[in-house]
Structure 1
Amino acid sequence: MNGANGARGSCQCGTITFTVSGSFDSFFLCHCSRCRKDTGSAHAANLFSSTAVLEWVSGADSVRTYRVPGTRHEKSFCIGCGAAVPIIQMNGQLLVVPAGSLDTEIAIAPTGHICVGDAAEWDEQLSQAPRFDGLPGPG
């Protein structure tokens, strides 16, 4: 199953809540420099759908969108906490949902890594970094 079928999500402060009804077409991990700047991390993790429906349950007036001047690159976020939230792009034809904004499980696995030619130089070492269940202890 690819779908969201009633996926729920929110921003970090809880002001914005939303539902997504329908299926996701793809789940890409984008390593372009703009997505790295958006997330402050190695990549953005976004779900895409041309058919799913986004409903703002609360906080729609707290959603702001930033577009990088001279590009098509956009990001929507909560004005209270700055957390990434869904955005409708391409004149309403494409729903983009930051995977980390969802509060419910999704069944679709990542489709692939994109824009890897623009990945951070340290990205390749991520799989070898130690893993901790919580914060590492004092050293």
Structure 2
Amino acid sequence: MAGATTMQGGCACGKVRFEADVDNDEAYLCHCRMCQRATGSISIAFKNMPQAKVRWMSGPDWYKSSPIAQRPYCRECGTSLGFQFKEGSQNLDLTVAAFDDPSRFKPKHHFGAESIHRAWLNTDGLPEQRTEDYQKLVDKWVDATGSFPG
């Protein structure tokens, strides 16, 4: 496993955790209607991994999303964690955002191009606002927890 880096990740609430031996920074965006519906998003960023290089430290629940596939997720918080064919594949996809530090990954291609919402691909030039600059949100966090996460 020369060159592999062990990376960790999991769901929003922390119930589901995994480790993955990652040997490159390649990821992809899936735009297929099944992924759009399963995630509630216009696309999902995936890291394709050999199943043998992924260890579930505290396992996910699995949703049978179609006759040919299933998806790991957290039953407590609803986080979508990936995609896996039920049969015939040694790989699975982990959602890039589920990694504790997803900054390593770079998109290398699009999949499900027939369902791409092109208006959402290049958003350069749209106004940007940092989370910590939205005072109403900061105040809600401080009121609820005593501090702003970050």
Q: 2:22 and 2:29 mapped to 1: Cα distance?
A: 21
By relative contact order (CA 8 Å, sep 6+), the higher-ranking structure is 1
5+ residue gaps, structure 1, are none
Q: 2:105 and 2:115 mapped to 1: Cα distance?
A: 25
Taking structure 2 as the reference length, the TM-score comes to: 0.71
- Which of these residues, 67, 73, 78, is aligned with residue 74 of structure 2? 78
Structure 1's consecutive aligned runs of 4 or more residues displaced over 6 angstroms after TM superposition are none
- Which of these residues, 104, 107, 112, is aligned with residue 110 of structure 1? 107
Matched-pair contact (CA < 8 Å) for 2:96–2:105: no
Superposed displacement of residue 5, structure 1:
1.1
Identity %: 23
Match of 1:14 in 2: 14
Q: 1:76 and 1:46 mapped to 2: Cα distance?
A: 13
5+ residue gaps, structure 2, are 137-150
Residue identity opposite 1:56 in structure 2: W
RMSD between aligned alpha carbons? 2.8
Taking structure 1 as the reference length, the TM-score comes to: 0.75
**1:28–1:17 distance in 2 versus 1, CA, 3 Å:** same
Superposed displacement of residue 121, structure 1:
6.1
Q: How many residues align?
A: 132
Match of 1:126 in 2: 123
The 3-state SS of whatever aligns with 1:126 is coil
Q: 2:117 and 2:103 mapped to 1: Cα distance?
A: 27
Q: Which has the higher helix share?
A: 2
